[in-house]
Amino acid sequence: ILLLYLFFLISSKDIFFIPHSHTDLGWLRTIEEYYVEKVEQILDGVIQTLTEDTSQRKRFVISEIGFLKIYIERNRTTKEIKVSKIKSLLENGQLELVNGGISQADSACTNYEDLIINYFSGINYIVRTLGHTAVAAWQLDPFGHSLSLPYIAKLFGLNHIVINRVSDDLKETWKKEKSLQFKLVYPDNSFSYVHTTVYGYTSPSGLNCDEYCSRFLFNHREVSNYLNQLEKEYAANPFH
């Protein structure tokens, strides 16, 4: 499923709508079922659309390295072509890899050794295969966040982390304080830049497609209200 994550820079009033993947490596269906029924078509469509975009203005973010690996490796006869296209899109900035790990790791019950293996396996694959790595950890859907995961991610070079599922009370407090973006400082005095989503990872109010995504629905008033509300809740320069 393609969902929109909205990030905007209030100081310059520039607005960026960034489509990103959100495909669980196993949830209500198996990894194989998700890949065959949904993910393969998503990645095919994204890569074709970006490749055909001569303006190079369209962007997409891939966060599940496990599915990307399946996509590249499953058919050996098309691997070289896929790798070439993905590398080109990464180099010109149309495609970005986030998370780095094979999956979006859980924080609540995962042993630190599993987190390390997850990040090592994913980052090792994309560096070895594509010559690129991720710089942002991606924690949109795990149910809660720990201090250990962002620290381990930082040790793998992921200096930014996007989070979402914090308690409603805490998120409301952060909104009022304009502290949805902050530095998370560790015991060794190193730190990560943390970016908290306001309304989760669904598409912004007023920007949706119809039931089959055959056409795009745009409500100017809803979008304007949505952006005005976000402007009240994000700090312009949160890290300075």
Which residues are known catalytic residues?
141
Asked whether the beta carbons of 107 and 98 are under 8 A apart, the reply is no
Question: 10 Å Cβ neighbour count for 211?
Answer: 6
Cα 190 to Cα 98, 182, 185: the distances in Å are 21, 13, 6
CA atoms within 13 A on the CB side of 39: 26
* Strand stretches in 141-199, DSSP E: 160-163, 181-185, 191-196
Q: How far apart (Å, rounded) are the C-alpha atoms in residues 231 and 176?
A: 12
Asked whether the beta carbons of 193 and 160 are under 8 A apart, the reply is yes
Asked whether the beta carbons of 64 and 103 are under 8 A apart, the reply is yes
As beta bridge partners, residue 116 has none
> What tokens does 82 get?
């896929």
Closest by Cα among 150, 234, 143 to 193? 150
Asked whether the beta carbons of 56 and 103 are under 8 A apart, the reply is no
